[in-house]
Amino acid sequence: MLRALIWKLDAGIRQQKKTLETGHDLRELFQYASPLFPSEFQHEKKLLDVQIQHVGRLWYNNMRFASSRYVETRWFALGEVNRKRTMKQATALFFDVCGDIVSRCEVICGK
């Protein structure tokens, strides 16, 4: 969705005058997209920033090949999984935050 926002809001990308060299890093994609947000979405931008920093801290592209045990160990080291929050609870929260990011980007893309 961040790529979709960039393609929609950046004429240089749309016209292939610029290239997007962010790879799959959500934080870099957001950093690129952030200045492009229309002024009426500044509140959304602040909320997205918090959510993307959270997701970006927990996930990187090659984790899609990792075992659940690896992810759980990494998230435990980051404090996302602990005595009060199980892996199942942490993944549910992660999923919800990711869904919220997509929803917010859809609203912005729709304008």
Q: How far apart are CA 7 and CA 19, in angstroms?
A: 10
Q: How far apart are CA 41 and CA 34, in angstroms?
A: 10
Q: Torsions phi, psi of 82, nearest 5? A: -155, -165
Q: How far apart are CA 52 and CA 97, in angstroms?
A: 9
Q: How many CB atoms lie within 10 A of CB 86?
A: 12
Model's pTM, two decimal places?
0.84
Digitized pLDDT (tens) for each residue of the chain, 111 residues in all: 888 888 888 888 888 888 887 778 899 999 999 988 888 998 889 999 999 999 999 999 899 999 999 999 999 999 999 999 999 999 999 999 999 999 998 988 887
Q: How far apart are CA 71 and CA 91, in angstroms?
A: 10
Q: How many CB atoms lie within 10 A of CB 8?
A: 17
Instruction: Decide: 81 and 90 in contact? Cβ < 8 Å.
Output: yes
Angle at 66 between CA 47 and CA 90, to 5 degrees: 40
